[in-house]
Amino acid sequence: MTSNSDGAGRPEPDLFRTDPPLDDAVTRQYYARRFRRKLAEAGSKSGLGRLRANLQSDDQDQDDVYFAEMNKSGDSPVNFDVDAQEATQNAILKFLSDHNSGEQPVWAGEDVKYVAMRRPPLKSIVCRCDSVDGSTLVNNTWMGAASVTVVELYFGSWSRLEALSITSMTGMTMSAENHTRRVTTGPLYSGTSAAPRLRPAEGEVYYADHLTGFRARIIEHRPDRHPGSIAAVAYSKSRAERIRPYVEAAWQVSSASRGKRTNGRYFNAAGNPIIFGLVLGQLEAVIEPEPTALHDSAFLAIHEILGGKVVRLDDLAPLNYIEMYQKHAPDFGGTAKPIPPYIAYVGDELPAWMADVHASNR
């Protein structure tokens, strides 16, 4: 499931390795995406770092702690959201400056102060950030959030998803480079959009544990899944009602494990923070009952790169997430929700019990 090589027995190349020379387009593109993955990692780690720093020690009495202003009114940004977003953007700018890239990023996503009002030059770097994905959960439980940074390349009518990074409050980061290629036969574009149609997702995914220093490449989802193990967020009555049939059915799924029979399980979690459970844990599926924004669903790109499947919740039709992401990416704001309700699952086929639930509720 993990490897510290590039998949061909070689160690992961250094970020600025110059052997072989960067003299062909494919090689240059490969290292450009590696650079952008490191850029995304710098952003996501700094966002969560600033969030954790909101719990500070009083210089006068080390036994006392206080919180920086952390108030929330409705759905408006919590103060620490904006604070973390600023830390993310500063880290990205510093990374670019330290490596003399000369690139000036365009900002997109949640709580971004200066979303582009005019279309930027073609091939601009776009950094789509949500530095505290799960701020309501953090404000109530001080756990369960993640920070996400996605790096895109802007082409006008669409943007290419180059790389992304998700960092959890527990000190883990999962990052990816997207090497998915376009189709070369049949219709080349997605419907009436100029966004290209894509082949099955491919790329490289990496995991880092910042507490232990462990780092490895992930080459597949963990193979052993607990049947009937699902995750979905039910923080409102409408969401709870939509997932209720799946939760009740999951509890009826029975399987043998280590000589004992166990039933399915339901976990009240989803979105970017769930990527660690979907890849490294035993979750069978994640259900999202409402439309979502690009920055809130970015983890699906990692899921697809590792071979995971996504289907629409309403009709179980296949959903090519990366293709849809690239089509809607030129909307730099954080309010649009172009990703329809979905089920993300591990395996070649949707679990039969989930298909049965869908059929019985039509």
The predicted-structure confidence for 152-168, as pLDDT tens digits, reads as follows 999 998 999 999 999 99
Domains in the chain with CATH codes: 2-218 (3.30.540.10), 229-360 (3.40.190.80)
* pLDDT higher than threshold 90 for residue 345: yes
Three-state SS string over the chain comes to CEECECCCCCECCCCCCCCCCCCCHHHHHHHHHHHHHHHHHHHHHHHHHHHHCCEEEECCEEEEEEECCCCCCCCCCCHHHHHHHHHHHHHHHHHHHHCCCCCCCEEEECCCCCCCCCCCCCCCEEEEEEEEECHHHHHHHCCCCEEEEEEEEECCCCEEEEEEEEEECCCEEEEEEECCCECCCCCCECCCCCCECECCCCEEEEEEECCCCCEEEECCCCCCCCCCEEECCCCCHHHHHHHHHHHHHHCCCEEEECCEEEECEEECCCCHHHHHHHHHCCCCEEEECCCECCCCCCHHHHHHHCCCEEEECCCCCECCHHHHHHHHCCCCCCCCCCECCEEEECCCCCCHHHHHHHHHCC
The predicted-structure confidence for 271-326, as pLDDT tens digits, reads as follows 999 999 999 999 999 999 999 999 999 999 999 999 999 999 999 999 999 999 99
The predicted-structure confidence for 36-86, as pLDDT tens digits, reads as follows 999 999 998 887 776 666 554 334 344 443 344 333 333 455 567 777 888
Q: What is the pTM of this model?
A: 0.86
